[in-house]
Amino acid sequence: AQKVTQAQTEISVVEKEDVTLDCVYETRDTTYYLFWYKQPPSGELVFLIRRNSFDEQNEISGRYSWNFQKSTSSFNFTITASQVVDSAVYFCALSEANTGGFKTIFGAGTRLFVKA
Amino acid sequence: DTGVSQDPRHKITKRGQNVTFRCDPISEHNRLYWYRQTLGQGPEFLTYFQNEAQLEKSRLLSDRFSAERPKGSFSTLEIQRTEQGDSAMYLCASSDNRGQIVGELFFGEGSRLTVL
């Protein structure tokens, strides 16, 4: 069964601090996809990144970076030099290829507060 | 290209009434999904369509819930005999999975249901 755990319910940082959001997943499939989505106060979930299980290269996009480690089943997300606009709920998600990839399972989310 | 649109954005109803939500996906996206999100939780998968075919339904979707996607375009989610436990945000998402197994989800702003 697939499962995503985001142990951090809320994180509060001061602007310009770095912050890491943790994500641990469970799956029996060897081929799967991991995602991060952002849900700002306006409510609409926005896609940030997708990784497949065969690509463990870390990725950097501007102030965002992702660390994928299959050995620990983790897919952590780091925001460098956080800004107030980063305040949102962030969801980690998992989709297994053996289900046709249709069923994306989300974690409970981590609410990030960035104070000016 | 417009995004995923949902209607109505808010619905307040009395227990026992029927409600219907509509979702217009991004044009030419072949997959359409319904999720439910309650306060402090991540989206929970309800059902999905590949074109006009409903291929999977979650156990969360009781027989009071029905979804359709006629002609593989817009979709409707109907809840009959609403209960207070149905109060939630109902999210629609679409994805383009042609040529790959798992595409990212594009979400609408959601339809918030309050059952009194």
**pLDDT score of B1:** 55
* Residues B64-86: tens digit of each pLDDT: 999 999 888 899 999 999 999 99
Mutation target to probe the B interface, by most B beta carbons within 10 A, among A106, A110, A111 is A106
| A95–B109 CB contact, under 8 Å | no
Shortest Cα–Cα distance, B41 to chain A (Å): 5
pLDDT tier for residue B101 given thresholds of 50, 70 and 90: low
Interval A57-73: pLDDT, tens:
888 889 999 999 999 99
Greatest mean pLDDT range, A40-49, B8-17, B45-54, B99-108: B8-17
What integer pLDDT is reported at residue A43 of this predicted model?
A: 82
Partner-chain residue, chosen from B31, B43, B44, that has the shortest CB–CB distance to A102: B31
pLDDT of residue A59: 86
Count A/B contacts: CB-CB distance under 8 Å. 62
Please state, for a pLDDT cut of 90, what percent of chain A lies above it.
Answer: 75
pLDDT in tens, A65-112: 999 999 999 999 999 999 999 999 999 999 988 766 678 999 999 999
Q: What is the mean pLDDT of residues B29-55?
A: 92
Whether B56 has its CB under 8 Å from any CB of chain A: the answer is yes
pLDDT in tens, B81-93: 999 999 999 999 9
Q: Nearest CB to B43: which of A46, A102, A106?
A: A106
Average pLDDT (B38-63) is: 89
Does B99 score more than 70 pLDDT?
A: no
State the SS3 of chain A: CCEEECCCCEEEEECCCCEEECCEEECCCCCEEEEEEEECCCCCCEEEEEEECCCCCCEEECCEEEEEEHHHCEEEEEECCCCHHHCEEEEEEEEEHHHCCCCEEECCCEEEEEEC
**Which residues does chain B have within 8 Å of residue A91's beta carbon, measured at their own beta carbons?**
42-43
Give residue A101's pLDDT.
66
